[in-house]
Amino acid sequence: MEIGEKIKRLRVLNELTQEELAQRCDLTKGFISKIERNITSPSIATLIDILEALGTDIKKFFNEDVQSKIVFTKDDIYQSENHELAHIVSWLIPNAQKNTMEPILIELGPHGASSVEEPHKGEEFGYVLKGAITLYVGKKKLKIKKGESFYFKSSEIHYIENPSNKDAVVLWVSSPPSF
């Protein structure tokens, strides 16, 4: 990706117009437009000013990985089986732990359970695709069946279990990644 395209993407993410960015950097809107269209290149000092106004710095700007892959297939999935807890965890997105959220698919065998998660900053979302589960959040015990979802802050111990003799499958998303 060209420098101008990256600057424009950061500007849009920061919900700034070209004029607002220009004002913050003591530049003209036309100059920002030319940079974004890769017609001209800023000096290092000007680039530093622009990046500072966009909430980043040169090191982060040039080391930033732009996600190139958008669609993931079954070949991208990594699975881990825990025989003791009778579950299989499928990480749906490779290296998702570096992202803002981490989606997994957890298959719970009869009377299976997820690992117990200690309290942490963040949020959890889940959707039961098959069967029924019991969700434990702190001292709360909640029954959730196929087609229902859950959402909670991760500030208490939490886990799920399958109380039945049939398999259960849950799409579970943690933000930030914690699986």
**Which CATH number among 2.60.120.10, 3.40.50.1000, 1.20.120.80, 3.40.50.150 corresponds to the domain 74-175?**
2.60.120.10
pLDDT in tens, 76-125: 898 999 999 999 999 998 877 677 889 999 999 999 999 999 999 999 99
Residue 82's φ and ψ, nearest 5 degrees, are -120, 105
pLDDT tens digits, one per residue of 38-64: 999 999 999 999 999 998 889 888 886
> Could you count the other beta carbons within 10 Å of the beta carbon of residue 60?
10
DSSP 45: H
Quick one: DSSP state of residue 118?
Answer: P
Q: Give the model confidence (pLDDT) of 115-159 as tens digits.
A: 999 999 999 999 999 999 999 999 999 999 999 999 999 999 999
Give the Cβ contact number of residue 145 at 10 Å. Answer: 11
Topology given in CATH for the domain delimited by 3-63? 434 Repressor (Amino-terminal Domain) (1.10.260)
H or E element: which one contains 9?
helix 3-13
Q: Dihedral sign, CA of 53, 122, 146, 107?
A: positive
- CA–CA separation, 71 and 25 (whole Å): 37
The helix (run of H) or strand (run of E) holding residue 30 is helix 29-36
